[in-house]
Structure 1
Amino acid sequence: MPSPDAEVRALQPWYHDFSRFGLQTQFPPRRADQLRALFNTLRRRLDPSYVEKGERFSLRRFLKPAPPAHVANQGAKEQVIEAYLQRCLADLPSAAPECLDLFCADGYYACLLATLRPNAHITGVDLDPQEIRRAQTAARLLKLPALRFEVGDVWDVTRAGRAYDLVLCTGGLYHLAQPAEFVRALRPVARRFLVVQSVVTLETDDPNYFVTPAPGWKHGSRFTHAALGRWLTEAGWRILDSALRELPANPRRCDRGSSFYCCAAG
């Protein structure tokens, strides 16, 4: 049976740094990892539908290794998301709340939820089977049995007819061509609270700004913090708090903003 370290290494690259939970998921780069990043980049160019979250290959990083952008940006996102989760959990009943983590990637925020509320029942959904394998491995190694991860389309979740006390939607809206419609579709899915985070542009603060596909991409979209707030309000959400931060590792201003909203059912 492989050691935990070998299991984690075999699943590189991880989108998040799990060290706060006592699980090492980030390692000094090896040539095989860099070649895998190159392969992922080529795969994206050949298959526009491929959506695995990971670092694109760059000659600069090949010659001078540095933490992947998503890991470098983690601190800028985690502080706000954790505060919003704690605020929502404080208003949920002590009995086991039902929670849903959409676009869960490697399950980092589902694991965070499980540590903040150990009795919660948490389901994570992501389209990428490799990310789900990472999430399942992390939950098992961290001994978090209440976590369940599924490969699935987030749109299918909105049509399943099931409701949750708390829905977490981080890092995924900007991958969609119709994020405003998705925000509306989430309305019956979240009984009590919705926590949203998305990349947004900092090139403008126009609440009507929206483009699809995203600049330089063949999929996704780009919009502003104000536009996301408008969509949430129009969908019937009551905004409890919001924040706009910068993602320091993203060089383009159209990718550099990070929008956060903590919402309650109206």
Structure 2
Amino acid sequence: MKKMSDLGRSLKIVLKTTKSKALSRFVPLRHIANEVRVVMLFAINYFNQGVPGFSLYRKLNLPNWYHDFSIVGIKTRTFREGGYDLSQKIKEPILFNYIENASGIVKARNGEKKTPSSLVDLFCADAYYSIYALHNDLVELAVGVDSEEGSGEGFVRGGVLDQADTISKICTLQGKLSLNKSDVMEYRGVFDICLCIGGLYHISDPLSLLRRISAQTRHVLVIQTIIPSHVNEETPFFVTPAPHWTWGSRFNKKYLIDALTGMGWTISAVDVKPMLVNSNEWDKLSLSLLCVKNPDKTVTEFP
């Protein structure tokens, strides 16, 4: 009986939201379709017990999501402690724009090639940006890679690939999005676009990962990372572990751009934004880069 009452409440809430959104011409129909799928999948899970111990509705409303998936018509509750939700909102507009530009570059370079456009999303967490790209037809295939290890982030990191899988199913992206629980330093495959969002400062040797990315990415690299606000930008700066952690690293913008240029990338766009929720000077700025592969650089799977 309790499950049935949960189902009734879910239907009432989601359908009420869908009805109000349908009246607005600014809401894409595919978003409304995803909301309807939430209700349908909840009903299926009720009858088939597809999500043991959880209703789909409860799962979407647990306050442990990295992102709010309203961009695809699915409301999820973000982990707010420490300003995670605000941090994501600072980065999103820039990164959405970069991914859209990356898609345009790939389409222009691929021309009449029949090979599906592809993307690898390193440190993908809930695969928010992969799902955004697929949902908006910016790429045809995507692979998300995440180790799901805490790296000091607490319970918010656990189970992120399961969350990504849930959203993928609601958006009917099966066959387009693959999710791999593995170390980003060991991913395999050659891709048109690489997303490296929010990860480089978590590892002690970011240049090793960038060499792998450079070898295995055909056209475009999108990077977002934390950089310190108080370090001089006239000369490259790098330190590991991060001064206020026992792991990770910190580097300045010049260090990263110099390294990428040396690996065959042209820096097409640079954005630096203050991370208003971060009080520590080592975490104060968000750096986003749109990098385009120089055409003369060869691409091959890293050994």
Deviation at 1:230, TM superposition (A): 1.2
1:258 aligns with 2:279: no
1:14 aligns with 2:75: no
Q: Which amino acid aligns with 2:91?
A: K
Deviation at 1:246, TM superposition (A): 1.1
Correspondence list, 1:99-248, <5 A: 99-117=119-137, 120-128=140-148, 130-145=159-174, 146-157=176-187, 160=188, 162-206=189-233, 207-248=235-276
Deviation at 1:243, TM superposition (A): 1.3
Q: Which runs of 5+ in 2 are unaligned?
A: 1-44, 46-53, 149-157, 295-303
What is the alpha-carbon distance in structure 2 between the residues aligned to residue 208 and residue 263 of structure 1?
Answer: 19
Match of 1:77 among 91, 94, 102: 91
Q: Contact 1:202–1:254 at 8 Å: present in 2 too?
A: yes
Q: Which amino acid aligns with 1:81?
A: L
Deviation at 1:185, TM superposition (A): 2.0
The change in CA–CA distance for 1:142 and 1:3 in structure 2 (over 3 A counts) is: farther
Deviation at 1:67, TM superposition (A): 5.9
Q: TM-score, normalised by structure 1?
A: 0.79
Q: Which amino acid aligns with 2:221?
A: L
Q: Contact 1:107–1:138 at 8 Å: present in 2 too?
A: no
Q: Contact 2:119–2:139 at 8 Å: present in 1 too?
A: no
SS in 1 for 2:223: strand
**Pairs aligned (count):** 225
What is the alpha-carbon distance in structure 2 between the residues aligned to residue 139 and residue 174 of structure 1?
Answer: 28
Deviation at 1:219, TM superposition (A): 0.9
Q: Which amino acid aligns with 1:153?
A: D
- 1:61-87 CA distance string (max 9 Å, x none): xxxxx6641211112111111111111
SS in 1 for 2:281: coil
Larger radius of gyration: 2
What is the alpha-carbon distance in structure 2 between the residues aligned to residue 195 and residue 255 of structure 1?
Answer: 20
Q: Which amino acid aligns with 2:170?
A: L
Deviation at 1:3, TM superposition (A): 3.5
| Higher RCO (CA < 8 A, seq sep 6+) | 1
- 1:95-136 CA distance string (max 9 Å, x none): 530111000011111111112326510110000162211111
What is the alpha-carbon distance in structure 2 between the residues aligned to residue 265 and residue 9 of structure 1?
Answer: 40
Deviation at 1:154, TM superposition (A): 0.6
What is the alpha-carbon distance in structure 2 between the residues aligned to residue 193 and residue 70 of structure 1?
Answer: 27
Percent of aligned positions that are identical = 29
Q: Contact 2:122–2:197 at 8 Å: present in 1 too?
A: yes
Deviation at 1:148, TM superposition (A): 1.3
SS in 2 for 1:84: helix
SS in 1 for 2:283: coil
